[in-house]
Each structure stands twice: as C-alpha cells, then as structure tokens.
Structure 1
Amino acid sequence: MDNQEHEVEITEKSKRKPFPGWLYGVLFVLFDAIGVGILEWGVTATSRVKLSSPTIGWGFVSKMWTDLNFVAVLNLLLCGIVYLILLMISNRFWVATPIYLALAIIIAVVEHFKITIRYEAVIPSDLSFLKSDAGNLMSFMPSGAQWIILGAVAGFLVLLGLCLYLNRIDARHGRMFRAADHRTGLANAAARILLVIIPAGFFGMYAMQAGTVGSWANTLSVAMGDQSSMWDSVYDAQRNGPVVSFLRQLNPKVMEKPEGYSEATMKQVAKRYAKAAESINAKRSANLNDSTVVYVLSESFSDPSRVPGLKVNKDSMPNIRKIKENTTSGYMLSSGYGGGTANLEYMGLTGMSMANFDSSLSSPYQQLVPGQHWTPTINQLWGAPKNSIGVHPYESSMYSRAINYKKFGFSHFYTLTGPDIISHQDKLGSSPYVSDEAAYKSTLEELKKTKSNQFIQLITMQNHMPYHDWYPNNEFTAQSTTGTALGKTEQESIQTYQKGAAITDQETEKFLKQLDKIDKPITVVFYGDHLPGIYSTASEDSNNSLALHLTDYFIWSNKASSSQGNKAENSAYTSPNFFMAQTAEHMNAKVSPFIAFLTQMHQKISAMEPPVVNQIQGWQRIPEGQSLYLDASGKPMAASDFDKKTQRLVDDYKLIQYDITTGRNYLKSLGFMDLPKQ
C-alpha cells in the first residue's frame, strides 16, 4: 500500500463515528424483533397452515392493539434475553447479532420442516430424539427442502452482510464494554458476568415454572396474553409464539409426590393387588385377549333429551337406548364440556384419572406422554404392536396422537393425513367431517383383515362442533322450557346436532349387527366423550353441571362371544378410567393386579373426574376444588366422608399413577400390569 492510499484509509476511518448507546438500543430491539419474526414465520409459512386466522401471521402483532394481548412482547422479552446473553459473552454487537439471527433461522427451518411433514410444532420431547436418533434427521426432510435451506442461507447472508456493513461504519465496531485501564476492565468483566447470570437465571426459572399454574412465570404468561391451545401444537405456536409455546411444555407439573412414595411402598401396593387379582381370577374363566376389543369414542355423543330446560320433538338415540337395556351400560362422567376429547381417550386407554393430576396438567397427550419412559395402555395386553390398530378420520397430529399412538404400541394409526390413510372418507350433507358410517366401514375392514384377536381404538368425528345446518330435510326441533326462547344460533346448532346424533344411533346399530356376523369374539366399548358445547342456556345455571357432564356408554359383545348379554354389576355410572376393569368384568375375564385395583376402586367410587365447569373446556388449567366423585346411584360423594377402605384406595391410586407417570416406575418390574399366564 503506497502512502497516498494509506492516507485515504486514515481519512476514511477518521470520518467514521462510534454508534451512540441509544442507537445500539434501537438496533437491539430491531434485530430482536427480526428474530421473533423469523421464528413466527417457521410455524406459519407452510402450505398446510391457514393464515386467515386473526391470531397468527400479522395478527400475532396486531392483536396488541386490537385485543390488548401482548404475548408478542413476551416472546420479544424471552428472545431478547438469549440475544443479550450472546452479546455479553462475545462483547461484540456485530458478532452476537448474526449468531442470534442464525439460531432463529435454524430453529425456524426445523419448525417449518416438522410442520410440513407432520403438522406438529417442535415440542420438548424432540430434544430426546436429537440425542437418540440424530443420525436419521435427513429422513425427515420434506420434498423441496433444499430450496428452503438455500433460501434460509441466502436470507442469513443478507443479514450477515448488513451486520458487516454496519460494523464497518461503526468506529466502535460493536464493542459493548471498553476498558481504559485494568480497574475499568475488571468492572466491565463483572458487569458482563452479571448481565449473563441474571438474565440466564430469569430465563431458566421462567422455563421451569411456565407450565405450573399459580407460579409467577405462568401468571406472567397469562397476564401477557398466553392462551394455551394444547389440542393443536401448531396453532398454539402460531397463537402464542413458538418460544412461549415450547417453554410452557418444557417442565409441566404432573403430580405432587404422594406421601410415603418409595420402592418399598410400591412393592407393598403391588403385592396387595396381586393378591386381589388372584381372588378375582379364581372366579373367572375367560382371558381378556382371547377376544377382540373395540373402543369406540363417539365424538360428542350424548342424549339431547336429558339436557335441563330443553324439549325435543323426537328421540335421537332409540337404537342405542335399546342396546343399553340388554348389556352392561349406563352414564359416563366426563371431565369435559364441548372439549377435552383426548383426556377422556387417555383415561380410557391407560386407566389413569385426570382427578389425580395437578391442575397444571391440562392435556396429558401434549404435556406428559411424549416424555414418558413407560406408558402402559390396555392395548398392550394383546401383545405385539400388529394387534393394536387406531382409526381416526381426522388429522393425525391433533393432540400429538401420531406420536402417542406409536408410543402406546399401535402398529397402525389410520387418519386423513397418514402415514396410514383411512380407507373411507365420505361425508354427509355439507358437514366438513367424515361420517360415522365411513368410520365404521374402515374399522370393519381392519377387523376382517385377520382372524387374530386385536385391540382397535376408533375415534369418530361426525358430531364434532360447530354445527351449521349440515343435513338436508332435518326433522328434529328443540325448544326451551325455561321461559326464555333459544337463540337462533343455539337452536340451529342443537337441531343440527340432534340429527347427527340420530345418524350415529342408526350407524352404530348397523355396525353391531355386522359384528354379529363375524365369527370371532368381539366386545365393543362405546361412549360419548363429552356433551357438545352448544347448550348456552342450560350452561348458564351451575346447578346443571352434573347433567352437562354425563354421556351414554355401553359394553356389548357379539354372538361369537360367550359374554353376549352380560351385565356387569355397578354399571349405572362410570368414568373412562374404569373401562378396562368393566370390560374384564363384562367378559368374565381374568385381570392383572392393576385391573384388580381398578375393579376394587370402581366398587367404592363409581365415577371420578376433576371439578367440572359449564363452559367449553379451556386449556389453561383444570378447575380448582375437590374432584367430583359419584356413588353407585350417581350422587356426589364428599372426600371427607370416605370410609377407611375407600380412602386407602384413593391414596393407592395416587401412588400408582405417580409411579407410572412421573415417578421411578418401580411397578414396571413387579408384574403389576401383567395378565396371568394362560
């Protein structure tokens, strides 16, 4: 370099000025917002995501002034903490910024890929996947992934170029702390350490407590506008931001540790109910897995004629009413009203009760199951996964079912979105949902594929809300008996629902008649998961709570079964956690120690659920108060009035459930879930 060029460079440097502190503050907020925007893009910019919702896309920001919802600010705060930590560690604004943006881009691309393939946002259990199966990451790349990656790289290079340019014109070169002497250097180092430790501590404490109702972190989230939508992880991430959505699920409080929980205690529990199983099995001759069992969760199926203050012109369920008269049947206490399907499904498959969980655990399918090490379910009693089939004519990603059913040991889960595609997808009228007739056809095909005994779980969709005059020539009408007429929307919804329930009634009878023609023993457990959330008039009266949480159920066996026409004792009321015990009793089948426990529990408490409310189930928390317990006649029981045996069963239930869900799994090696050897 000659002297003239050197002089020009010195002149240019002398013209550059260090950026003032306020400008760094503005740029920090700007780049922080860019990072949050990139993350939000990751959960919205796919062909499977509809951007018309006011809560996502630009609405994620605009709802600050339309709804006074500041969850976007909460995401800015949390991402800003990560950005600040990087800044303090590097002490270079123009080094920390591209690193922060690179992290945001990488996470957004991963979110985009996962949503494209599975329609599911990144959840905490994916971190364990990175440890155990990182080598197979390439197999999860969607078609056209290379263009997304190239676009992401190009976008990062543009942002990197901007940072390099700003670094060039900034005479300070982004240095945050500069020391003129040794003493100042030590002070700056201490300040930087504090600015790493304090924000990191805040972030860590928030992450550990954000999923616990009543904690400062959860209270902060709710105050800022976090409205958890646990039924759909993608919508939840769109609505509340992927950072808030992810951290809320990172460390949910599952249960309080029961008093006396230990390995010795669990051995005593296992021994106690192994003895109970021996006593029960001495009186029974059949084996549970010598028959095929079909669980039918009929979406929102219930009896409109039992809704308080409602008069209907016609019975929507005459066939099921007749079926119930000749087999094990009654009313099922539901934890939900207008929602909460997966919780009822979870209880039916596992025998666990939502009444035992902490109020923070509002959705086991999202918050608990993906991270569980041991997930015993009733279908596993049929042995190899090939004998367990799931059928659901809707998206496999809802409630993270695709992940959970694989974990439960189902070999196939047939849905609209695959990877196993359901064979029949017909709809009725203008309804957007697959009909029950089509769902039953798909189930029958699975039953006829093999002569082996199976466990099949069917979750229908026909009667899912909302209800908008779907069916032509609807002959059903409803009116209020309270003196206040039904609103137009409520009346349309009820009458549409009545017709749908009547169609379910007819198709269920046809399904059972077809099962009677199959030459292998089949038992069906049929139940409505909850009432539809359309009875706004009835729901205004808190005295209607119990009536609005009772659905119909029955356990029925076909002609090839020795248990056809059986009626189990104490069947007038139940809750889904008791289904496996009732099924075994109906079939006169031998039981495991766990099913023996549930059998004894059901004899003392007919039904149990968390406190119920007359509103469509929210997902922020389980309601407060004493759990709802019903006796054999359907009357509420006070926990303070339990006799000694009942209280011991309740205490043992908590020990069992804690050990299986969040404890040390002592019962796993004690044969607690094993049926007696044949």
Structure 2
Amino acid sequence: MSESTEGNVIEELSITRTPQSKAKQRRPFPGWLYALLFVVFDFAAVAILQWGVTMDSTRIELSSPLVGLGDMIAKMFTHANFVLILNMLLVGIVYLIVLMACNRFWVATPVVLALALIISVIEHFKVGIRYEAILPSDLSFLGSNTGNLMSFMPAGWQWAVLGAVAVFAVFVALFVVLDRIDGRHGRMIRTANPAMNAIVRLLLILCPGMLFGLYAMQVGTVGSWANAVSSALGDTPSMWDSVYDAQRNGPVVAFVRQLNPKVMDEPEDYSEETMQEVAARYRQAADAINETRSEYLDESTVVFVLSESFSDPSRVPGLELNQDAMPNVREIKENTTSGLMLSSGYGGGTANLEYMGLSGMSMANFDSSLTSPYQQLVPSQHWTPTVNQMWGAAENSIGFHPYEPSMYSRATNYEKFGFSHFYTLEGEDIIAHQDTIDDSPYVSDEATYRSALEEIESTDANQFIQIITMQNHMPYNDWYRDNDFTVESTDPSQPLGEDETESIETYAKGVSISDEATKDFLDELDQLDKPVTVVFYGDHLPGIYSTASEDDDNSLALHLTDYFIWSNQASAGSGAKNDDSDYTSPNFFIAQAAEHMNAKVSPFLAFLTQMHEHVSAMEPPVVNNIQGWDRIPEGQSIYLDADGDPMAESDMDEQTRQLLEDYLLIQYDVTAGSNYLRDTGFMDAPTR
C-alpha cells in the first residue's frame, strides 16, 4: 500500500469514528442522580395535581381558607402532617410502574407529567364549574358518557389547555436535552442477561402495583393497615366538601380513599331465596295494615323540612336561658305527632340524617368505614330507592337548599334520586329568595320557606318537597343586632366561657327566628285547599356546647333534636297524633308520616312500621365531639325504647331480633347486594 493511500484510509477511519468517540465522552448519569430526579419529578406531578383543586374559595363560607401546595409543605413543619409525602408515595408508585414498563427515564417522566397535567386541567374545570373534585363515580365518563365531558368545559377553557400544553412542551424540551446529555439515555435496567432484565422489570411492576391495589382496597376501611398508615401520615378526611378534602389531603389521597369503601358485611343467610321470603313476609304485613287505612301517600303533598341544627337549647344539661327560644314549635308539637329524634351527628353530619330520611336506611346498619353515603355509596349504587319516588314522575319531586349544590355531592345525588329540580344558590336551578338577616351570611328560613311555598302553590299536583335550611348553620358570631337572649351556667363552679356564651346566645336567637318562620309557613299551608303534610326535624345539635360535651353522661342529651309531623286542615291527618311518636330516628319518618296520614303502605314501609314499634330510634354509637369522618367508636349501636331508654341487644325479644336481622338483609340488598328486591314491588306504595 502506498503512503498516500494509507494516509487516506487513516483519515477516513478517523472521520467515521469521530461521532462514536464523542458518544463515549457522554458520561451516563449516576444512580443517585436518577433517584434525586425521580423525587423531583414525583413532587412536580403532585404539585401539578394540587393546582387542579387549588382555587379561591372565598365564595364558600364553610370551606377553610385556601389550601394549596405551600400549605401542605408548611404543615409538615408546623403540625408534623406528612400528607404531602403520602401523595408523593402514591404518585411515585404509578411513576415507577410506568418507568419499568418502558425502561426509559426520559420517556416515562413526560408520560407521568402529561397524565398529571390532563387530570389537573379536568379537575380545574370541574372545580370551577361545579365546585366538586373528581370522584370515582366520574370514571363512568370514560365509557359511554365521554361525549358529555364537553358540557363541563367553562368559557375560556382553551387558555387553560394551551397553558398546559405550553408547560408540557417545556418539559419535553428539557427531557430531550437531558436525554442527549445522559450517556445511558435513561435506560434503567440494563444487564448482560435480557431474561434477568425482564424479570426485574416485571417484579418492579407487579410488586408496587399489588401494594397500590391493596392500599386502594383497604384505605377506606377503618381499622385496616392502609387506613392506619394514611391517618399516621396526616390524612384527615373532610368529605362534606370534596374540593376542600382534595386541597387538604391531596387529590390523589382523597380520590383513592373513596374507591372501595366498606359498605356492609354480607349477612350470613343472604340469598335470592331469603330475600323472596323477606318480601313475602312484609307484603303480608302491608296487606294487614292497609285493610285499616283509607288514604294514599301520593294523594297529598308531603314536605320534608330538615332544619339546620334546630333543637331546644334549654334541654342542654347545665344551661339556663332567660326565655323560651321555640314557643311556637313547642305548641305545634303538643297538638300533633311529635317527639325527639335521635341524631347520629353532633355539630355536623347533616347529609347522613338527610340520607336516612330520604332512603329509610339506617346508619346503624352500615360498616363504620362508611362515613358519608352521599359520597361513598350513592354515586356507585345501581338502585337508589328513595321516598320521593312514591310520587311518580320526577316532575313531582322538588328540592330546595339555599347553599352550594356541590356540598355532599347533593346536586348529582338528587338527580339520581329522581328529583326534577334542586334549587340552590348556583347552577341551573337558582332558588328564588335569598334574603339574609342582619349580619348573617346565610339565607333565612323565612326566605327558604317562601321559595318552597311558591312552588307548592303553583300547581294542583301532589308533590314531594325536600327543604334543607341553612339559617342556623355554624359559626354563630353575634350576627343579630337586637338579640335579647342571655345564657348562663346552672353550676357556678363551671361558668361558660366568653366564646361559648356568644355562640349559644346567637344560636338561640336564630332558633327563635326559625320558630316564627316555621309557624308562619304552616299557617300559609293551612290556607291551601289541597292536603299537605310536613315532616319537620332538626338534624343535629350545634357543636357549641363545649362545657356540656365534657361530660360523657350528656352524650344522649346532645344527640336528641326536635321533630313533628303536621298536616293542614285539608288533610285527613289534620290533628292526628301517633301513639308511638315520643322518640324516633329519621329512617322511620316516612313510615310515621304514612301512619299519621292514615295512608296505605308498601312492604318496606310495613317493615319500618313494625321496626319502629319495637325499636323507637336507632343510630350508630354517638360521641360528644363534633362529627368527624372516622366517624364512630367501637361498641353497640344506640337503640332506644318507647321511653327513650337505651336497649341492649342481649335483652331483645325474638321478634325484635328478627326485625333487626331483616333490616340488615334489606339494607344490604339495596346498597351492596344483588338487588333481589328490586323487581318484587317491595318499595312500591299502593296507588288508587
């Protein structure tokens, strides 16, 4: 070979090897750097998801102040609350699974961040439009309802989408650069043995996936390891407000917690054959009851009034007021079916009492993990029989609630219950009257009654009307300008504190205003020439009695509110008074109303009638502190007899035990079972 030829060959080899030489100069990122970047991008994904639920909540008086990423970081140091870490662990598991699936760090990371951006933008839209976080029930939109997603797009949605795309583009550009710098191009598992690579990656997909699945299956069950871990890291369920819950605990934790709540244990003898026997037993009971009754439920208008926190403050142990806060309701109670209602809540839990009144089901039968049926149960139920459905077409069921329709997911639940309209402060159905009193931020009871009365007067049709008031909702901050109520302790050694005194006096004035408004409402109904029956009840006591609540012996007293069932002069039930009315719980209201109205009953109402004759009231174990969402202590549910005395299950007769067992069967079938009763007519009240 000539010297010139040899030189040319060397030059060509030099040229062709230059890119490879440069590639070899790119050092692979060390393992510790990948670990650090994994944590950084995991945090970024959680931050993106948190943005989706972080918004100005000043329009929601009950929500706590804005809770964003900064708050989650701060409370790690101020309150040893590590819910941010819990969210990062859950997102990190998903991140690891994606990473092992593709085995490329610079591919998996943008995929995870893209998912976070998509979810966050959708969440942002839903919060903005409906003030509701993404719930497990929303997964139905991934099926046949996908087209309906466009209906949730707010005005100017394009800008949010473009912003998300721009953020993602920046991320992609960053990852392209890092991929070029990284000599291993993000390859995670790389050994000389391809089979070993596959086994390791498979294990790193299956093991974290199984852990995530087990956590999701059990975190909603009180007492489980997953629930204990969440609680230890700072998860504090706030399920009355899904947005605040997601802000406070992180959207991932708030969502996963609701994936698989434990509803009820399956009764041992549950089967289609057993349920057919139950249906036949109470069909026969209904026939016997109906022989003595001449009226029909759907031939009257029935109004359920859940009066927020309404109760008699003079009945609280250790208190003395200077005057009666509810003289009108007291007089009404003396002349109609009335008594005391055992409440499962104290200072909260409104929707649970509401659910029991509408469904006839009892919280005492549910597992303690089911803290809020409106969020954890109803959205996934295939069959939701409620009392309003006995009035036929949806146009005959109307709801009124002068507040946010998203609280407790009421708007979607009421639609599922078969209400044609649910009038609130926002949305398509705006409540007509929104007057407040003095400095109170809440719509008055008088205004709420006026909105409902106009609806009742506008038609000759018989309806089911649901009213949930807001006037007496906490807090109680000296709202009323001419408040002449005073309160003091009956025990000089235990004087009331300044804050407690102000709250009780403000609350007492609110009760007196509701007392007048309720009397006026009934007087207006009494002038109508169509039959109307009202079921009125307070949902729970306000959580302001800090002195009385310190004494565990006051538990029962702090869980008894006032109720009555009243009919106007055009009704067959006018002036009626049930013999077994002294004590009750809301699951019995519709059966009591039918008895008060002398109306025929369905097999289910026949069962409730018999159940109420043997157990006057029933609720889960009660506590003296404000209603929480790890809701009840261990122990027997509370059962009261006709005199209001607690009943022990061990002392119950055989018939009472049979009724309680049947209640478990019925409630399980409706809420968690196979709905064997659905096509038996069990819930159908007779019509003319």
Task: Determine if the TM-score, normalized by the shorter chain, exceeds 0.5.
Answer: yes
CA RMSD of aligned residues (A): 1.5
Matched-pair contact (CA < 8 Å) for 2:29–2:183: yes
Matched-pair contact (CA < 8 Å) for 1:361–1:622: no
Change over 3 Å in CA distance of 1:316–1:52 after alignment to 2 = closer
**C-alpha deviation, 1:6, in angstroms:** 6.4
Alignment coverage as a number of residue pairs: 674
Cα separation, 2, equivalents of 1:508 and 1:547 = 24
Output one character per residue of 1:224-274: Cα deviation in whole Å (capped at 9) or x when no partner: 100000100111011111111111000000001012000000000000000
**C-alpha deviation, 1:179, in angstroms:** 2.8
Cα separation, 1, equivalents of 2:498 and 2:256 = 42
Q: 2:447 is matched by which residue type in structure 1?
A: A
TM-score, normalization by structure 2: 0.96
Say yes or no: does 1:567 pair with 2:574. Answer: no
**C-alpha deviation, 1:49, in angstroms:** 7.7
**C-alpha deviation, 1:16, in angstroms:** 1.8
Output one character per residue of 1:147-176: Cα deviation in whole Å (capped at 9) or x when no partner: 111111111111111111110111110011
Matches within 5 A, 1:530-545: 530-545=540-555
Give ranges in structure 1 of 5+ residues lacking alignment.
none
* 1:62 maps to which of 59, 74, 80: 74
Say yes or no: does 1:75 pair with 2:87. Answer: yes
Matched-pair contact (CA < 8 Å) for 1:47–1:116: no
**C-alpha deviation, 1:100, in angstroms:** 0.5
- 1:256 equivalent in structure 2: 265
Matches within 5 A, 1:350-365: 350-365=359-374
- 1:634 equivalent in structure 2: 644
Output one character per residue of 1:546-572: Cα deviation in whole Å (capped at 9) or x when no partner: 100000000001111121100012000
Q: 1:606 is matched by which residue type in structure 2?
A: S
Give ranges in structure 2 of 5+ residues lacking alignment.
1-11
- 2:27 equivalent in structure 1: 17
Say yes or no: does 1:137 pair with 2:146. Answer: no
Say yes or no: does 1:391 pair with 2:400. Answer: yes
**C-alpha deviation, 1:300, in angstroms:** 0.1
SS of corresponding position for 1:433: coil
- 1:457 equivalent in structure 2: 466
Find runs of 4+ consecutive structure 1 residues off by over 6 angstroms: 2-8, 46-52
* 1:194 maps to which of 192, 203, 225: 203
- 2:96 equivalent in structure 1: 84
Matched-pair contact (CA < 8 Å) for 1:46–1:115: no
Change over 3 Å in CA distance of 1:465–1:52 after alignment to 2 = closer
Change over 3 Å in CA distance of 1:505–1:179 after alignment to 2 = same
Matched-pair contact (CA < 8 Å) for 2:42–2:91: yes
Identity value in percent:
68
**C-alpha deviation, 1:4, in angstroms:** 9.3
Matched-pair contact (CA < 8 Å) for 1:48–1:119: no
**C-alpha deviation, 1:383, in angstroms:** 0.2
Cα separation, 2, equivalents of 1:153 and 1:141 = 17
- 2:390 equivalent in structure 1: 381
Change over 3 Å in CA distance of 1:622–1:419 after alignment to 2 = farther
- 2:39 equivalent in structure 1: 29
Matched-pair contact (CA < 8 Å) for 2:577–2:596: yes
- 1:506 equivalent in structure 2: 516
**C-alpha deviation, 1:437, in angstroms:** 0.8
Cα separation, 2, equivalents of 1:56 and 1:352 = 37
Matched-pair contact (CA < 8 Å) for 1:46–1:116: no
Q: 1:414 is matched by which residue type in structure 2?
A: Y
Matched-pair contact (CA < 8 Å) for 1:327–1:567: yes
- 1:619 equivalent in structure 2: 629
SS of corresponding position for 1:297: strand
Change over 3 Å in CA distance of 1:280–1:240 after alignment to 2 = same
Please identify, of 386-395 and 186-195, the stretch whose mean Cα deviation from structure 2 is larger.
Answer: 186-195
Say yes or no: does 1:173 pair with 2:185. Answer: yes
* 2:378 maps to which of 369, 372, 385: 369
Matches within 5 A, 1:601-620: 601-620=611-630
Cα separation, 1, equivalents of 2:59 and 2:111 = 28
**C-alpha deviation, 1:132, in angstroms:** 2.7
* 1:153 maps to which of 157, 165, 177: 165
Output one character per residue of 1:324-374: Cα deviation in whole Å (capped at 9) or x when no partner: 011000000000000000000000000000000000001000100010000
Based on CA coordinates, which of the two structures has the bigger radius of gyration?
Answer: 2
Matched-pair contact (CA < 8 Å) for 2:298–2:687: no
Cα separation, 1, equivalents of 2:454 and 2:543 = 33
Q: 2:229 is matched by which residue type in structure 1?
A: L
Please identify, of 74-83 and 42-51, the stretch whose mean Cα deviation from structure 2 is larger.
Answer: 42-51
**C-alpha deviation, 1:623, in angstroms:** 2.5
Matched-pair contact (CA < 8 Å) for 1:465–1:532: yes
**C-alpha deviation, 1:113, in angstroms:** 1.0
SS of corresponding position for 1:114: helix
Matched-pair contact (CA < 8 Å) for 1:55–1:63: no
Matched-pair contact (CA < 8 Å) for 1:48–1:116: no
* 1:299 maps to which of 284, 308, 325: 308
- 2:122 equivalent in structure 1: 110
Output one character per residue of 1:114-154: Cα deviation in whole Å (capped at 9) or x when no partner: 11111111111111232131122212211111111111111
**C-alpha deviation, 1:7, in angstroms:** 6.8
Q: 1:489 is matched by which residue type in structure 2?
A: D
Say yes or no: does 1:522 pair with 2:522. Answer: no
TM-score, normalization by structure 1: 0.98
- 1:221 equivalent in structure 2: 230
Q: 1:426 is matched by which residue type in structure 2?
A: D
Cα separation, 2, equivalents of 1:205 and 1:157 = 35
**C-alpha deviation, 1:185, in angstroms:** 2.1
SS of corresponding position for 2:338: strand
